[in-house]
A and B are shown apart, each in its own frame.
Chain A
Amino acid sequence: MLADDAVLFREGTARVLIDAGFEVTGQAGDAAELLDLVSRDPPAAAIIDIRMPPGHSAEGLEAAVEIRRIAPDVGLLLLSQHVETHHAMRLMTEFEGGVGYLLKDRVSDLATFVSDVRRVANGDCVIDAELVARLVDKKREGDPLADLTERERTVLAFMAQGRSNSALSAELCLSGKTIEAHVRSIFMKLNLSVDAGDHRRVLAVLAFLRR
């Protein structure tokens, strides 16, 4: 399911997804149309532009909240021209997983995008790498991140993006145990409690980074 007021972009994305083996069950030009389509035939995932008519502010986000209410199993991937921590936090706090927040540019990186869509459909979280990088690079007084090793910083960034340990071990070509050790070390250094569940972990890390 796709919702974006820009027809060309919508069509392009649809073609990319179809090429990648997805079935595009519907396309909507605004939030109302999207809700109508979703309620009639709930898809595995909905890819929604945050900024849509009529207000061009955060209509996509409001629509996502409504979809979660009427069809809790629909994965929600929100796209935007620019990513804001503010919106990311809202997504992570208001939704219990199955949400993603990406720059629109990401659709051109087919492999990653397709995997992100699948993760969202599977109930995982996806946070845009640029946003996470910005938070990790954020200047802090007496920066606690300074204690982290380069590898730990990379692991932290991936965690913030919503990757699971297994995804991390695949990405970084490290064993699951090594990844676990890194994660423990990070949580200890940052004085965070190790939380069960990927979603909670992402939230905790994001909240920390945002401070």
Chain B
Amino acid sequence: MTTKASFARARTERPPAGTRATDELPGPSHDGRGRRARRIAAWAVGLLCAALVIGGFSLGVRLPNLHNGLIAASFTAVGLFVVGRRPGNREGWLFIATGLAHAVMFFGRQYGFFAASTAEGADALPATTWVTWLGVWPLPLVLVLAGVTLMCFPDGRLPSPRWRPVVAVMMATGAVLAICSALWPVEYAENSLSVPHPLHVGGYDTAQRLWNVIAPAAYLLIQLAWAACVVVRMRRAEGDEARQLRWFVYAVAIGAAAMAMGLIFFGSAAPGVLAVPVVAVAAGVAIVKYRLYDIDLVINKTLVVGAMAAIITAGYVAVVVGFGRLVGVEPGPNPVLAIVATAIVAIAFEPARRRVQRTADRLVYGDRPSPYEALARLSTQLSGAGRHADLFSELASTVAGGVGAAEVTLWVGADEELVAVASWPPSDHGSQLATAPKNLASLGDGGRTHVRPIVHQGSLRGAVTLNKPPGEVMTSSDDRLLHDLAAQAGLVIDNAGLAVELQHRLHEISLQAAELQAAGKRIVAAQDKARRRIERDLHDGAQQRLVTLALTLQSLSQRVASARDDTLVAQVEEARVQLSQALAELREMARGIHPAILTQEGLEAALGFLAERAPLPVQLDVCLPRRLGQDVEATAYFVVSEALTNAAKHSGASSIAVVGRLRDGRLCIEVTDNGQGGADGHWGSGLQGLLDRLATLNGRLTVHSPVGGGSRLSAELPCE
């Protein structure tokens, strides 16, 4: 595990192939000279190769040798192109070497084929046997070279030094085979060469027998070695390298498909052979231009188009041939069946395409949602109710999932004051997000950070910043997806802004409500206080004076009695009686303003007094273990007083029950009558006054008064 880990690190630290222009060149002076030398060498090799290939083709086109020519031309051309664009890339030179080797082989074999096709045979051209010989015996070494070229793709280096022994064994094997092939004509027959071998070394039969046994196995081993190397590299590749390798594999797959189709439908390897340059071109694109095109999209579309073509063909064939045969229609063109087949294909096309697209998406993008899925998922999340903080987190994770980013941060605000509101992967604690506001220009300071401003209705609402994993770049589809997600994000931020504003308003309103309630409470308390003061003023003042006046009148009447003036006695007595009535009235008034018993003896006694004086029988069931707050007692008293008055006036009830209890720190008062109900209308300003009083204490008042079913008034008052 350690070696693997260190290896992976070593590779990720190295920039991907083609990103450094002069990674092999130590200094500037050397640079200039080395570059010129390389350019001259490249041109020389290119000209040589071109001469060999053109010369070879001028001797005719022969299918068994065609692939050599195509490989020579395409690999050399691509190699030169790569070397021209990326002089430091070794892979370009390996391509050139592979191309040149094939060019030599191609020319040699063309030479031999041409000579053999003439009447003169081997004598038609000079040194036919030797030139042809050059086209045959290098084959094992060329195969090894091609293998190593593939093993070193795309950066011209082996995946790890551990492959060096493998390459050494491959080369040794190739060398042994090549020497064998150089000494004896062991490979002439299978390459359809009728030109004789220039050397005449003894022991050919033994050599051919051994060759027949060893060579296929050795070739197979060489192929397996490089194939294994490519597979291992692919499995470990990430980022750019993976993308480059995908180009290559894509081309190989296309080539293989062309070969298979050619063999199946035309019985010819020509299509496959003709597809060989595709591999070289794809490899070149992978090295030099992979950033320009999104291979994933190309593969995806190829898969979809290929699969759909196959399905349509299969369906068409199945209907026209299979169904036709089943119902006994004669073979041959049948318009009805053709129309049926077309209709079926037309109907089944879209569902099938969608399914194929999904499969292709899964194959290409893996767990990563396709751009469409990412957008669809985001829409679902947006429509589902949620806190905007969650929405931001979802948005960040959607962006991360959609474009395969390692880190995503969502910023909200205007240009100069962007604040990070969510990030992906989610941090365990919010501290990471509690950074100072930044401006848009400074967001990309991280170097590899991609910044995408979020603009909604023409103004900047925020930004998305993201980092791809090391070695990965933003593809054009990533870019498009990010663009669409950013548009959605603008909407989210707008909504979140509204939500925040709403919350702010709600907070303000609740503050105002609390202030209003406090003010109401103060007003009620002040009112109660004033009432108590008036009652006491009456008690200590007017009532006291009137009582004293009554005493004075009393003395007066005694004196008048002794004066024996009956009229005067009657007048004084009249005054005394009137004074007594006035006192009684004043007493009632004082009680109405504020019952002294409530302050002195508490709610239970005060309610008892109310019950005593009620115009209806009152069943009083009040049990309070302690005195309550003055405001609570006064409110409860006035609630019962009002309820009794109302019941007596309107309900036609014959009795009333008053229940008072203290439950869970709440005073619960219930006044029930057995009257006609429907009392809702009778509660006029009295009820409103009570409701106002209760509201200031956070109390609750409900009146349940169905017509014909009596009335029940319940009041609940918190007493803490």
Contact = CB atoms under 8 A, between A and B. Distances in A.
Contact of A82 (B540, B596, B601): B596
Interface in B485-516: none
Contacts of B597: 84, 86
A58 interface: yes
Given A81-B539, A84-B605, A108 B544 contact: no
Contacts of B605: 84, 86
B543 interface: yes
Contacts of A15: 551, 555
Contact of B613 (A6, A86, A134): A134
Contacts of A177: none
Nearest to A90: B601
Interface string A135-177: 1001111010000000000000000000000000000000000
B540 A108 contact: no
A128 to B, nearest CB: 12
Interface in B540-573: 540, 543-545, 547-548, 550-555, 558
B609 A107 contact: no
Contacts of B609: 84-86
B630 to A, nearest CB: 13
Contacts of B608: 85-86
B599 A138 contact: no
A85 B612 contact: yes
Interface string A107-142: 111100000000000000000001000110011110
A140 B617 CA distance: 5
A108 B576 contact: yes
A27 to B, nearest CB: 14
Contacts of A109: 554
Given A16-B555, A135-B612, A8 B545 contact: yes
B655 interface: yes
Which of A82, A143, A210 has the most CB atoms of chain B within a 10 A radius of its CB?
A82
B596 A108 contact: no
Given A104-B547, A139-B617, A110 B655 contact: no
A40 interface: no
Judged by DSSP, the binding face of B is helix
Interface residues of A, number: 33
B505 to A, nearest CB: 49
Interface string B616-646: 1111000000000000000000000000000
Contacts of A19: 555, 558
A139 B548 contact: no
A56 interface: yes
B547 A9 contact: yes
A105 B654 contact: no
B555 A8 contact: no
Contacts of B550: 105, 107-108
A206 B216 CA distance: 129
Interface in A173-187: none
A132 B433 CA distance: 79
A19 B583 CA distance: 24
B545 A84 contact: no
A139 B614 contact: yes
A199 interface: no
A57 B543 contact: no
A15 B654 CA distance: 50
A201 interface: no
B615 interface: yes
Interface in B589-605: 590-591, 596-597, 599-601, 605
A107 B544 CA distance: 12
Interface string A1-17: 00001101100110110
A105 B539 contact: no
Contacts of A135: 612
A110 B554 contact: yes
Given A135-B612, A141-B617, A108 B655 contact: no
Contact of B536 (A56, A107, A143): A56
A141 B548 contact: no
B587 A81 contact: yes
B538 to A, nearest CB: 8
A141 B655 contact: yes
Contacts of A81: 539, 543, 547, 587, 590, 596
B690 interface: no
A84 B601 contact: yes
A15 B556 CA distance: 12
Contacts of B545: 8
Contacts of B587: 81-82
Contact of B551 (A13, A82, A134, A140): A13
Given A8-B548, A9-B547, A108-B576, A138 B612 contact: yes
B191 interface: no
B554 A86 contact: no
Contacts of B613: 134, 138
A21 to B, nearest CB: 13
B599 A108 contact: no
14 contacts: A6-B540, A9-B548, A16-B554, A16-B555, A51-B596, A57-B599, A82-B587, A82-B596, A85-B608, A86-B601, A108-B550, A108-B553, A139-B614, A210-B612
Interface of B: 536, 539-540, 543-545, 547-548, 550-555, 558, 576, 579-580, 583-584, 587, 590-591, 596-597, 599-601, 605, 608-609, 612-619, 654-655
Interface of A: 5-6, 8-9, 12-13, 15-16, 19, 51, 56-58, 81-82, 84-86, 104-105, 107-110, 130, 134-135, 138-141, 143, 210
Closest CB pairs A-B (n = 7): A108-B550, A12-B551, A57-B600, A141-B617, A86-B605, A8-B548, A139-B617
Given A9-B544, A19-B558, 14 more contacts: A16-B555, A51-B600, A57-B599, A58-B601, A81-B539, A84-B601, A84-B609, A105-B580, A105-B584, A107-B550, A107-B551, A108-B547, A139-B614, A139-B615
